[in-house]
Structure 1
Amino acid sequence: MSRILDIFTKDALEAARANNTYRSMRLMETPESSCVKIRMPDGASQEQILLASNSYLDLANVDELKQAMAQAVLEWGTGSGGARLTTGNKSPHQELEEFIAKFKGEESAITFNTGYMANVGTISALCGKNDFIFSDELNHASIIDGIRLSRAKCFVYKHNDMADLQRVIQEADKSRAESALPAPRKLIVTDAVFSMDGDLANLPELLRIAHESECLLMIDEAHATGVLGKTGRGLAEHYGCAHVDVTVGTLSKAVAAEGGFVAGPKQLTEFLKNKSRSFIFTTAMAPAVAAAACNNLRYIDAHPERVQNLRDNVKFFCDALQREGVNVELSPSAIVPIVIGDEAKAMQISAKLQEQGILIPAIRYPTVAKGQARLRASLMATHTHEQLQTAASIIAQAVKEGV
């Protein structure tokens, strides 16, 4: 290692340790499910109730879905061999995109290797340096990075504040009207479910504002697909309202596979095939993974009770925490934040809970604002009420004691 690299990386890591933002990885020794085994610091394995997974429907452990993916590997091999526009495009990719479009109620869909790539590639393809983007202040990093890559003028509005969104749109329109530049393309972009707070974007109001302001509207349904709505189809089903112009999502959370997608009009997906750099310049996802994602989506479609089980568990857990004296609200999603505040205290409580068999991570700056560190519980459809009651009691005691 060169001296320059050594000094730079050492200083950065020491600073992270000093302000309690240093990150490290746990080793999980069993498949992702409602209970897992974790390698502890002393080298022993310990069973934990997992309250940290984005696999909200616990589909990764459904036997018929595992067997279907194994069969897809035997049929299609372990890799794709090329980009989608060269040799990588296989039947499972097309079948997956057709089913995503059907599931989301859209004309067409296009898949990416990750949800992150879907956001970055879509935003930077749709907007350029002369355009305006209006972004919720709590949007995911992939949205922020897509905006940066687009070089568009970004206007950040207060979280879920529709009056502030209207204000920044009006200010942007006024500034452009006073210049000699041509009219910009305008895009409102927001998460559907905000991943650290678990709250929802106000889709009916966003649709109204987008229409009145002549803006495109894009939502990222990473934490909404398979979770929101009676059958898990997302934010529009939840509200019972119209769809947006551009719907982005992921296949790696409730769908329990890998990849991201964009759903919308056929012309949109054709445009992205030709203009999105994160689609064009990358090797396609393995066809067996695409087949697995499609099978898992079909399973969600055929088992809406799985979505209802998740909703029931969220209500039970929030009620249990409230009975134990923990200040939480009923979450409309699968994410239940328990705000601690101090970064060091949140880390200590999380470590104490892990010792007691509850795996729930401490989320700190820069993922959330300084002084807003929290325990972020994410629930699964297969948690039992007994597990959730046990977890709520232990969490409440740890929070009260402050460790």
Structure 2
Amino acid sequence: MPVSEAWQERLASAREQRFNEQRWRHRLVNTHSGLDFAGNDYLGLAQDPRVQAAQEEGARCFGAGAGASHLVSGHLAIHDALEDALARWTGRERALLFSTGYMANLGVLQALADPRTAIFQDRLNHASLLDGAALSGARSRRFHHRDSADLERLLSRSAATHKLVVSDGVFSMDGDVADIAALAHISQQHNAWLMIDDAHGLGVLGDNGSGCVAGFDSQRVPILVGTLGKALGTAGAFVAGDAALIEHITQFARSYIYTTAQPPSIAASTLEALMIVQREPEHRQRLHHNIRYFRQQAQALGLPLTESLTPIQPLLLSNEPRTLAWANQLAEQGIQVGAIRPPTVPKGAARLRITLSARHTCHDIDRLLEGLCACLREEAACPA
């Protein structure tokens, strides 16, 4: 068989299998004409005129793109200013910008770990953390979700000289929060470093929106990763820690060294968004009001909520056909939600991933709840 035919058969087989499992994904063009309960713009800053104006001004002052990697000629004064601001915000000595959160996690783990390192990860960690551990070549073990006793057991059995405990701060599909205090305590007991990816906590939780690691310094949480494309409404990511850590990552993280720096316009808009987060707590207050309102109403309707108190509010529907049917029915009403299926979540754990924003009104949330009620009524009228 010609090579080209072999490849075409391989692609067709994978495509057919995913179609048959009802796990084929489609890109949707978001026209902003309906209600978005699927995105991660938790504070609504992506649509804030001040953030948009800062991006325009950044492009005028510094150009549309950085033109090179940070270590060649692409590191500009606006990048320096943003890194300094992020370090102050998170209570760290220094911060280092990456182009995406995925690249940050890949780069940090590849730079720090090697085959002599043992990495211990929460079972529900983001794919970028799992891939970063695999890229590093380290020995990797996964402890049960938010199970400190299981982590303790695995660490006590490890003879590795260098141990690294890694966890999401807020888990992206469940919305629950890691027990940072327990992770920090156990890590210190076993002479392990702790790395927290607080992508979904920064801007949303903690004092001044500084995330679920607020109150934990570099001694207890040495490695902090955050993204800029969620609560801050822009794009990119950073890692924060002490000077020795940041200098090491600068020198050894391949996803930092060998890529073009973040566009300076994005750095400028992120700096503006960060100032808004710190000086205007009303955005965060409005978000948490919306979370409470949604949960109270959803519980009264008997919807299958989880225990999440963050903007991520999953409705567990168990199987893929049901999840797709609900998402499609909502889409027909102009309401977009995430239809999350395996392999993103375990088999039997398909769900609607509903995300709330400070931009949502109670009327918006009522429309969503009415749509969810219609899904329930249709199921009751036409049982499977």
Work out whether the TM-score is over 0.5: yes
Native 8 Å contact 1:349 1:398 kept in 2: yes
Question: Which amino acid counterpart does residue 374 of structure 1 have in structure 2?
Answer: R
For 1:164, the equivalent position in structure 2 comes to: 150
> SS of the counterpart of 2:119?
strand
2:132 is matched by which residue type in structure 1? G
Alignment of structure 1 residues 342-361 onto 2, 5 Å: 342-361=319-338
1:331 deviates by 2.4
1:6 corresponds to 2:8: yes
Cα displacement (A) at 1:332: 2.2
For 2:8 and 2:172, the matched residues in 1 are separated by: 34
Q: Distance in 1 between matches of 2:315 and 2:306?
A: 9
Q: Which residue identity lines up with residue 57 of structure 1 in the other structure?
A: L
Cα deviation for residue 190 of structure 1 reads 0.2
Between stretches 210-219 and 325-334, larger displacement belongs to: 325-334
8 A Cα contact 2:97 2:239, kept in partner = yes
Counterpart check, 1:272 vs 2:249: yes
TM-score, with length taken from structure 2 = 0.95
- SS of the residue aligned with 1:263? strand
2:279 alignment counterpart: 302
Q: Are residue 212 (structure 1) and residue 189 (structure 2) matched?
A: yes
Please name the residue that 1:371 is paired with: 348
Aligned mates of 1:230, 1:282 — CA distance in 2: 33
What is the TM-score normalised by the length of structure 1? 0.91
Residue 78 of structure 1 pairs with residue 78 of structure 2:
no
Q: What is aligned with 1:43?
A: none
Q: Output aligned runs, 1:2-401, within 5 Å.
A: 2-29=4-31, 36-37=32-33, 48-172=34-158, 176=159, 183-237=160-214, 240-242=215-217, 244-329=221-306, 331-401=308-378
| Structure 2 counterpart of 1:106, one-letter code | R
Q: Contact 1:226–1:255 (CA<8 Å) still a contact in 2?
A: yes
Q: How much has 1:231 moved relative to structure 2?
A: 2.1
**What is the distance in 2 between the residues matched to 1:295 and 1:165?**
39
The separation in 1 between residues aligned to 2:38 and 2:62, in whole angstroms, is 32
1: CA distance between counterparts of 2:197 and 2:262? 20
Q: Distance in 2 between matches of 1:280 and 1:217?
A: 24
Which is further off, 163-172 or 240-249? 240-249
For 1:205-240, what per-residue CA distance to the aligned partner results, in whole angstroms no more than 9, with x for missing partners?
Answer: 011101111100000011011111242110123xx4
- CA gap 1:147/1:186 in 2 versus in 1, 3 angstroms: same
> % of aligned pairs identical?
37
Tell me if structure 2 keeps the 8 A contact 1:321–1:396.
Answer: no
- Report if aligned partners of 1:318, 1:329 keep a CA contact under 8 Å in 2: no
Distance apart, 1:293 and its partner CA: 1.1
SS in 1 for 2:213: helix
Moved over 3 A (4+): 240-243, 399-403
The alignment covers a number of residue pairs equal to: 376
Whole-angstrom distance in 1 between the partners of 2:234 and 2:185: 34
Q: CA deviation at 1:329?
A: 4.3
Do the aligned residues in 2 keep the contact of 1:318 with 1:331 (CA within 8 Å)? no
Q: Structure 1 residue 274: deviation in Å?
A: 0.5
Measured against aligned partners, the alpha-carbon deviations of 1:242-279 in whole angstroms (never above 9, x if no partner) come to 45110001011111111110011011111111111111
1:258 and 1:289 in contact (8 A); partners too: yes
Which consecutive unaligned segments of at least 5 residues does structure 2 have? none
The residue type paired with residue 146 of structure 2 is N
Note the residue ranges of structure 1 that are not aligned, 5 or more in a row: 30-35, 38-47, 177-182
SS state at 2:74 partner? coil
**Cα RMSD after superposing both structures:** 1.4
**1:191, 1:197 → 2: CA distance?**
11
- The structure-2 alpha-carbon separation of the partners of 1:86 and 1:241, relative to structure 1 and needing over 3 Å to count, comes to closer
- Alpha carbons 1:112, 1:259 under 8 Å: kept: yes
Name the amino acid aligned to 1:16: R
SS for the counterpart of 2:266 is: helix
State the shift of 1:356 in Å: 1.7
2:245 is aligned with what amino acid? Answer: L
CA distance in 2, matches of 1:308, 1:230: 12
How far 1:170 moved relative to its partner? Answer: 1.3
Any conservation in 2 of the 1:321–1:393 contact (CA below 8 Å)?
Answer: no
Alignment match, 1:41: none
In the alignment, is the contact (CA less than 8 A) between 2:196 and 2:225 conserved in 1?
yes
- Deviation for aligned residue 1:241: 4.5
